[in-house]
Each structure stands twice: as C-alpha cells, then as structure tokens.
With several copies, the nearest count.
Chain A
C-alpha cells in the first residue's frame, strides 16, 4: 500500500516549487555516510487484501478460550454494542488531543462528563481525563504524595496487584523513594497492626487496593484514620470498576486519591492494553494532579463550552517543574468508559450484584470438591482465592477444554501454595460453572 497521494506529476511540480531536482536533495543535512539505500530486513509491501489476510492468520494463531476464569486485573465483561459504535465515529478516533477547543467540543464535553461520572463513582470531588493504566495511575499517586508532602517513604499493601506493586517500585526507584510492603492477614485484608507499626512521619502514602488482588474487600475507613493520623495520604485502588456498582467508594471512607483500572468499563481485554488509568482526588489537589483536566467555561456569548484547563500543571508548560510527564493519555478508552457508564446507569448496581451472585455460586461449587478450601475469610466481590490439592493440574484440565482457568497465586505469592484466584463475571453462566466443576473433578 501507499497512502501518499502524490502522482508523478505532483512530485515534479512540487520539486520545482521547492527548487530541487530530486526529493533526495532534501536530505542533504544528513551526513552522507549515514544515508541508507534501503531499509534492511523489512518485508515487501502488501496490498490491503494481503495485509488483512496476514493479520487474520496471526490472530488465529491465538487460541480464543470458550471461557475465562481469570480476573487478576483484567476482566471479561459484556460490552454493550453502543460503545463500539460511538468510539468508531471517525470524528472521535481520528482526532488529536483537543488543543483547539472550538472544534473539539465533542471530546471535551464527553471527557468532562467522564470526569464527573468517575468522581461520583469513586466518591471524590475531581477526576482527571485518564492515565495510562491502573498501575501507572497508582504509581503517579505515590509520587505525587511524596512530592506534595516532601516525604520519601511509600507503604504498599502486599495484597495490591503484583504488577501494580512492581510499577510503583519502578517509579519510586527512579525518584529514590523507599517502598515498604505490609502483609495481609488471614482475612485477606491488610494487616492493620503491622501497618500501624510501619507508619511514621516520613511516610508519604499508603497504597491499598479494594477489592484487593485476592478479591477481598478492604476496610478503608480505619485505614484512612490510621494513615491520616501520620499526615500521610491514603491511595486506594481498584482493578474492576464494576465493583463500584455496589461497593462503598473509597472516597466516602476517607481516601485522598482513588486510582484504578477502567478497562472493565467498556474496553475489551485486548491482551492487556490499551487500558484506562483512573485517577480521582480530593478537590484540594486540583492544581497538582497529573494528567489532563477538562473544565467548563463560557464563550464570549455566554454559551457553555469546554476546554483543557489548568495546563500549567502539564509538562508542556512546566517542563521539569511539572508534577508528571504524562501527555498522550487514554482518551478513547475514557470515552468508551463514559459511554459504558451512561449506558448502564443505575444498572451498574444490578450488574455488580450479578457478579457477586455468580461468584458466590462458583465458590460454593468449588468448595464442595474434596480438598478445596477457602484461603481468606473476608468478603469478596467477584474474585476469590481457594486452595486445592494440585493447582497446576486444575488449570491443565481446564485448558484442555478450552477454558482459561484461574490465576495461580504462587507465581507472585510463594507463601500461598496451591492457591488459585478465580473470577466469575456476568459472562459466566451457571452451566459454565457446573461444567468447570465437573472438569475439575475429573468427571469430564
């Protein structure tokens, strides 16, 4: 393919206008010895038909499961058809960042609405226009806390998603902040006593997740109290936003920042990306939070309109003094989330309740198998940990039947031997669950 529309004649005319005999002349600034004749080892061009055939072939080298029982930070939820129809509007997806507000009211208003929905959902006053993903949103909250308080220690619950912890560690290392992990107790929640012991005046933030990596709901309010008593920030994360359909938002329990992964809101699994980093905060951090913000204002005739605002926080104005370096974000994923949330509306509550029901059913059925035990005691949303005689074998069996099984917890928690983390969303039917149990029992 060739997407440049230039005809021979166009090129000749343009060369003449530029005063050159050949396009090659335009590259004279590049030292001759570094100029290539031809790119090495790039395959020959393809027609559109060949391109799609090639990609289709690659996509079919993947095995698409009949059923996915893994959550662990990425969730298989139903995406209403409207979402795709909207984000495929060329005016949305082929636009750049809305720097020119007057011809970008569409995305600006949609993002303003998204910010509002996220603030409501998380129980916070403000939310930004998106971050790269849940993990980097959490890391940014940690860095921001440290910078704001001028403190250098970050505490993170061990029950936070392992990859989130890894990302927080990377961001903190680059800023020379210390990171300290607090274990969970037998309920599956963060060990509050150990946290209390670790809290000190140099702690900038405590990072927790709820429901946490084990699906367990953390008790945020006492955590907030403990954290605030040392003047530190509480950063509360979530990985499956649908939980907010029924769970009390961390904002209501005193968190300073609520961050999370918005993939569940209308974004496909996509093998891990693009996803949607959610970042919500208390009003007082308005001028310090990373990422873009859309604000409402008026035009000279008093009509309401929307603009990117408080860009002084952003790197392209503040350069090295910016609070974050994020520039391109995940706007289209945020748009999808906005459409998703507007589609479900109050039905998000019903959806969350359905997730709980499926999960409880799955859990009950699995725990009915001899040798299977609950790992934690605290309440869960749509994920839960169970231990069983041979975790790997379970997944092997499921795999044979085209099912992506549970997340094997020993991978990141060697202390949790033979523990599996199962997830059941609305996409899993009773029939599926019964089949899974049969497969696991070896009955199939």
Chain B
C-alpha cells in the first residue's frame, strides 16, 4: 500500500481550523522570527482518502476480534466491549489531570477501589497504579527494593534472575544499577534449588521470579525459594505477567512475594492496542509500602485526595497518575467478573492450556511434560531434525490457517520454542480447530516442507527481509 505521504497532494487537507474570533495578530510581532519554523512537512490528504488509508491499513492487521491469538506470555484474552464503552464515558476522558481533587472524586474513588481490589486479589498491602506497562512496573518495583536497602543502609549489588525469565526482568534490574545473575532452571522447569542456595548471599537484593514461569509451570518449591531468599535478608519479586494462571486460586502475597507488577493489558483484559497502552500496577507487602511512587491517594473525611507526602518514596516514574483510561477498563472487568468470575477465568485458562498440551503432545516435543498452568511450551526440535523445518516456518504457516502464531523462540531455554497461551475466552471448538491445524502442519512438515518455508501464502506480503531491515535501516520515509 502507498504511504500516506505518497498520497499527499499540495493544497489538499482534511482538518479545517475554525476562524479566529479574537483580534488578528501578526505572529512575528509576538514571537521572534528566529523561533519560527520555515516549513511544515506533513501529509495533505482529503478526509475520504485518510479514512480509506487507515481503514485499509487496519484490514492488513490481525486482531483478537478476528480470531484465535495464542501468543504465549501475552494473555490475549477477549477484550469485553462494555469495558471500552465505560472507558469512553466523557466523565472519564474529559478531565484534566490538574483539575483538582474536588473535580475528580469519581476517578479517585475508582482508582482507590481498584488498588483495594488488587490488594485483595494478590494478597499485597498496597498498590500503585502509576506505571504505564509491565516493564515500567518492574522498574518501579526494583527501585523500591533498591530504596529499601538504601534506607536500611545495606549495599546489595546483585539480583537473581532465572534463565527462563522475560528479557525485561534483567533489563529493569540493570536500569536500577543491579548486577544480574542468572539462576538455572532444574530439569522439571523449576528453580534449581541448589543453584539458588549457592547464589543467594547477602549481596543479593532480590530474586525476580515469574510464577508460573514462562514455561507455564508453577514453582512447586516456592516455599523453600521464599525461605532461602528471605533468610538472607533478600526480597522476593514477582513478575505478575502470568497472573492469569492463579486469580482466585492463590495469592503471591501469601506465597511470600514482597512485590509484584501486573500487566492489566494481559490479566485484566484491557486491549493491547497493537503494542500499548498497557498499565503496570505494582503491589507491595508491608516492608515496601513506604517506598511506593508518589502521588498516592489518601481518603479523608471530605473525600479522596492526592498526596505527595511520603518522604521515602522513590518519587515519580511518570507524569500524572498512570494510564487512567486503561485502569477504568480493568476496573470494569473486575467488577463484571467478581470473585467467582475471576477464579472461573483462571480455571478455564488453565484447562484450555492443558487441553492443547495433551492434544499436541504426540506431534511436537514437549520438553517439560507436567501439568501446565495458563500456557504450554513445545519445542520444534523434532521438526528441525526430521524435516529441516523451523519453528518460524510453523508459525508462518499457521497464518494461512487463520490464526495468529504463538510466541516463538521464547523462553530462550527451550530450543525452537513454541509457546501457546490460549486464555480462557477460547472455546473447545476453537482449540480443536487450532490443534487440527497444528497437526496438519506437522504432517506438511514431512510431506511438503517447501510449503511451510514459503508460508504465509495468504497475506498481502510474504516473509519480509528482516536482515535487510536491520542492515540498512529505513525508519523514516524520505521523498525520493
């Protein structure tokens, strides 16, 4: 498709600006010419062409509303429409963040209740809604840990991170100036307890654990892990991206976690928007409450208000109060489902994952053959060895069957990983049809490997040259 710039014609335009109702002034009389720009290079298109451009672009995009999207670790559950409508209410969208607390009592109540619900669901003492996404929450959480030790006057330099962890974990730790040490997984996909013991010293601030981990497996030895960490004065950090696996079943706070970041855009069904916005609330146990970002909501006799009066706070991680509009959607979700609904969602998510695991086990290698939680991770190794077909080929071929591919090549500890997270909002028929497609593809790998290598065959573009993109980067269009 042509770029919007290529459709531009001098003199066209869509948005028209109202005539001024105040006295006309010469801009140069109020702003020195040296501050003014000389040209403005933006596309000039008529409204109809603009709408067609973006509407047709949208049709070249696969969304959850088109079909199954089993992207592991991303919890692509259905995004209920009522939540969208709630968040679009003018009372929520129209308020300036500095309007003053008296104007915003509805928003403040919603945020306060949301924090309370999250505390109840995760067993934490307090929550902040400020971080804009999961990784932002990790960063905030790790800073609180840093501050905690700073406050205690302890200098701890290292953090432990399992080899299966998401890349943002070490990145977030590093951003806080921690040295990250990789913790090995054992042969059943859990923490290697001996390795943990050997690494856990008084120089270690925390273990960042994803539980269930990115293999979709619950850490059976969580009590022991928690004991080992805490005995050495360390803290236990939970990457809560996988929280869809345990809502209403167990609570990280009860399991010994001191801090957890969530991804509302995963667990709490807010849409992912093609890459964001998300929202990454962070919950903390009592030991970390003092370090939460400011401002925090306090409840007084005349209602809610924002307060910055928390001297040990890490400060702010962004301007204003968080991705408020995303939080509205998650709030609506929690209220619609209620306690039972949240638990049922988790149960069905886990049932769905295990169902897929059982159905596909005969056709693909399953490195850790245990009951899984919300996702299961296969390996495409057999197909590489036997058919010279890579996981990427399988993924691309799935597109032709009308599915978004699973997450691939992650976690890094599984060679040729195929990470499938169905979520609870998919029906048995959908799973059956998807498994059928996977089985057909496993047969095609043997019988017609070239078709897989040529896949996808049904899209506007075929496989794109990523090497070229990285070698000769073109990230900004230039008139030729």
Contacts and interface: CB of A to CB of B under 8 A. Distances in A.
A–B interface present (Cβ within 8 A)? yes
Interface stretch (A25-33, A198-206, A436-444): A25-33
B248 to A, nearest CB: 5
B426 A326 contact: no
B265 interface: yes
Contact of B250 (A35, A84, A126, A219): A35
Interface stretch (A228-236, A289-297, A367-375): A289-297
A354 B22 CA distance: 9
A391 B168 CA distance: 46
B475 A112 contact: yes
Interface in A337-357: 338-339, 341-351, 353-354, 356-357
A389 interface: no
A91 B61 contact: yes
Interface stretch (B33-41, B227-235, B377-385, B444-452): B33-41
Contacts of A25: 371
Contact of A318 (B23, B171, B293, B407): B171
B interface bracket (residues with beta carbon within 8 Å of A)? 35 or more
Interface string A35-71: 1101111111111111110111111111111001010
Interface string A418-432: 000000001001110
Interface residues of A, number: 212
B41 A120 contact: yes
The 4 closest A-B pairs by CB, nearest first: A59-B91, A272-B320, A331-B275, A106-B61
Contacts of B343: 38-39
B265 A1 contact: no
B166 to A, nearest CB: 7
Given A26-B350, A102-B461, A303-B461, A96 B318 contact: no
A55 B24 CA distance: 27
12 contacts: A3-B46, A68-B96, A81-B80, A92-B274, A95-B275, A100-B395, A175-B176, A269-B93, A304-B461, A344-B15, A347-B17, A429-B21
Interface string B357-368: 011000000000
Contacts of B223: 31
B249 interface: yes
A183 interface: no
Nearest to B130: A273
Contact of B96 (A76, A252, A324): A76
Contacts of A57: 106
A258 to B, nearest CB: 13
B164 to A, nearest CB: 12
A174 B321 contact: no
B323 interface: yes
Nearest to A315: B171
A44 B110 CA distance: 16
A429 B19 CA distance: 11
Given A15-B351, A99-B71, A317-B167, A85 B81 contact: yes
Contact of B175 (A273, A307, A324): A324
A133 B477 CA distance: 24
Contact of B321 (A61, A221, A273, A344): A273
Residue with the highest number of chain B CB atoms closer than 10 Å, among A18, A298, A310, A330: A18
Contacts of A333: 273, 276-277
A68 to B, nearest CB: 5
Contacts of A269: 93-97
Given A42-B339, A81-B84, A106 B463 contact: no
A273 B465 contact: no
B425 interface: yes
